Structures are given as structure tokens and as C-alpha cells.
Amino acid sequence: MVEPVRDPDPAVVAANLARIRDEVGPDVEILVAGKYVPAEGLGALAEAGVTLIGENRLQDLEAKRERWGDTFTWDFIGALQSRKVDDLIGQVRLIHSVASDSALRRLERFSDTGAEVLIQVDVAGEASKSGFSAGELSDVLDRCPVRVGGLMTMPPAVADPEASRPHFARLRELAEAHGLARLSMGTSQDYRVAAEEGATIIRLGSALFASRE
Ligand SMILES: *Cc1c(COP(=O)(O)O)cnc(C)c1O
């Protein structure tokens, strides 16, 4: 986890964004993980050309949306907790992180809302990670009360981004097998590999704020 960035430098973010855009090509959405930046700092991100923010916590999402509204598209990338779903639905374009049976149950009342979610799959098969196993996916897709637009994964932290490649390839195969269009995969450590393996959304934090001197 990097330090919070109170006051991001728009020039640094814009330069990083341009380089990353160049690396991943025009078709991959670049989502910026908002957890590093307080509400006041988001103006610098807008200035740098960021358009899509993902928040992990409902209270951060609400505070930032209140301040910045339609300046950004908002997604949710955190754990779906009870009660919060009510407030979340309608505020975000996409929930990336439906990772448990309890999350599926919490979505039950929202089948008529047009809400769209991604199912989080633990393709690395790590007991400690959140997400459904690949083997559970068909059943989860049958049971999910709201529209499933695609899949998301969060592979283990690795020193070598190539270590994530098989997990991303597996997620793409699963999405293709089920006719799902969106693939949210790749973070600062491995977004290039994720893009090569077909990511449609990469989720970046640290890579965007680091200055390269
Ligand atoms: C913070 C976060 C990211 C981005 O992480 P970085 O390593 O800083 O790029 C991506 N996905 C989720 C779910 C996150 O919480």
C-alpha cells in the first residue's frame, strides 16, 4: 500500500497516464483506485485526464461523488457489506467485486434496478484470497440476481508480473466460455501483462502517482 497522495501533481499523473495508455492501447479502460487520494486531490486527477475512479469504501465514494459528481465515472472495487448495498446501487456504473455468497444474497432486492456487477474469481486458487473458485462460476452466474457484465480478479502480489499471466489468461478463458464481455484485471504490478491477456479494465494506484526522475 502506498502512502496517501494528498496533493497529486497533475503533470506527473498526466505523464504516467500517457505512458500507460501507450502501453495498453486505446481500448483498455484505465480505472484509478481512489483510496490513495482524498476528495480534495481529485481535481488534479481530472486535470491530468483521469475519467474513471474506483472506490473501496462507500463513505469515500459518497464524499467524493458529492464533491465531484459527473466529473468522473464511478465504480466500486471494495467488499460488498451488508446494508451498504442499498446506498451503493445507483451511485456506481459497475460493482467489480462480487466475491461471496453473502454478496449475492445482498443483491437479491436489486434485480430490477439495472445494476451491473462483475464476479470476482480467485483464479490463483489461494485460500486466503477473496472470490469464487473457477469451478463455482457457472453456478454463481445462474444465481446472481443482477446483470453480470464480466469477471474480475486480484492475483497475489508478485515481484515478476509474468507470474500473473496464467491467472489472467484463465480469467479470459472463463469469460469467453460464458460470453462475458468485461475483464477487470491488472494493477500497477502487472497491468501490461493483463492488457496483453485481454483486460478491458485495468485498476491502477501507485503506478499513476510515482514520479520518474
Ligand atoms: C488499490 C487497488 C488497486 C490498485 O492497486 P495498485 O497496486 O496501487 O495499482 C486495484 N484493485 C483493487 C481492488 C484495489 O483495492
In this prediction, residue 213 has a pLDDT band, given cuts at 50, 70 and 90, of low
**112 Cα–ligand 1 center, Å:** 30
The residue assigned the cell 507470474 is: 163
Residue 154 CB–ligand 1 contact under 6 Å: yes
Residue 35 CB–ligand 1 contact under 6 Å: yes
Region 49-61: mean pLDDT is 97
In this prediction, residue 64 has a pLDDT band, given cuts at 50, 70 and 90, of very high
Note the pLDDT tens digit of each residue in 40-53. Answer: 999 999 999 999 99
Residue 204 CB–ligand 1 contact under 6 Å: yes
Note the pLDDT tens digit of each residue in 167-197. Answer: 999 999 999 999 999 999 999 999 999 999 9
Using CA atoms, how far apart are residues 131 and 198, in angstroms rounded to an integer?
Answer: 20
- Report H helices in the chain: 10-24, 42-48, 58-68, 84-88, 101-106, 137-143, 165-177, 191-196, 206-209
Note the pLDDT tens digit of each residue in 88-122. Answer: 999 999 999 999 999 999 999 999 999 999 999 99
Residue 206 CB–ligand 1 contact under 6 Å: yes
- Kindly report the average pLDDT of the chain as a whole number: 94
Task: Tell which atom from ligand 1 comes closest to the C-alpha of 36.
Answer: 1
| Percent of the chain at pLDDT exceeding 70 | 96
Q: pTM of the prediction?
A: 0.95
Q: Give 162: exposed, middle or buried? Use CB within 10 Å, 0-12, 13-18, 19+.
A: exposed
Using CA atoms, how far apart are residues 108 and 95, in angstroms rounded to an integer?
Answer: 14
Q: Are 55 and 38 in contact (CB under 8 A)?
A: no
Region 16-28: mean pLDDT is 97
Residue 1: is its pLDDT beyond 90?
no
Residue 95 CB–ligand 1 contact under 6 Å: no
pLDDT at position 2 is 55
Beta bridge partners of 55: 76
> Which of 203, 204, 206, 209 has most ligand 1 atoms within 8 Å of its beta carbon, as the pocket-test mutant?
203
pLDDT at position 126 is 74
